[in-house]
Amino acid sequence: MVSIDATRLIGPGCGATLVLRHVHGECRQCEQRPKGKEKIMNVTSKSSIQVSHDDAAWSLAQGEAMSLPIGPGRRELRVLDGRVWVTQQGALDMPAHDYWLTAGETLEVQDGAQLVVEAWPTARFQLLVPPQACPARRERKLSLPVFGLPGLRPAGA
């Protein structure tokens, strides 16, 4: 089990997202890591995770991880800059999945999934709703101005 030194809720209008920071050296994984190997995560005294409302992107600094609950409907995680390590929660009958994504790559995620996203070393990413995931909308009548269209005249003209 990973020790956590801080939690925080964030999210730009799309639901709450739990942000976790790992306390390096206080978990079994850190104790079992051979000396001289790269640290799994670094301690940060203050979270630097930022949300850009211009492009609905999250920015993660080195050593920061986010828990992202997915839904309703499926989503696409698109990496804009940097590299991320994504772990998708498993179940008793199915192990967790790990993915490495770099700038320009996209991961399709099903409804109800739980992700943990970590930047390696830093990253910006978006969690998008693809058009195919939206429920069918009622047909809308489209009214176009008829002026200037050949063969069409306003009613009564």
For the segment 59-92, what is each residue's pLDDT rounded down to a tens digit? 999 989 999 898 888 899 999 999 999 999 888 8
Q: What is the mean pLDDT of the chain?
A: 68
pLDDT of residue 100: 96
> Does residue 148 belong to any structural domain of this protein?
no
In the chain, the DSSP E strands lie at 4-10, 17-22, 50-52, 57-60, 64-69, 75-88, 97-102, 106-109, 114-128
For residue 67, is it within any domain? yes
| pLDDT-derived band at 147, boundaries 50, 70, 90 | low
Tokens of 75: 């989503």
Q: How many domains does the chain have?
A: 1
Domain that holds residue 66: 4-131
Q: Is residue 115 part of a domain?
A: yes
Structure tokens of 106? Answer: 């996209």
- As a 3-state breakdown, the chain gives helix, strand, coil percent values, each rounded to 5, of 5, 45, 50
The domain that contains 68 carries what CATH number? Answer: 2.60.120.10
d(C-alpha 131, C-alpha 8), whole Å: 30
Is position 18 within any domain? yes
Share of the chain above pLDDT 70, in %: 48
Domain assignment present for 156: no
More confident position, 17 or 125: 125
pLDDT above 60 (res 55): yes
Q: Determine, yes or no, domain membership for 9.
A: yes
Q: Is residue 153 part of a domain?
A: no
Residue 144 lies in a domain: no
What does the pLDDT look like over 9-29, one tens digit per residue?
233 333 334 344 444 444 444
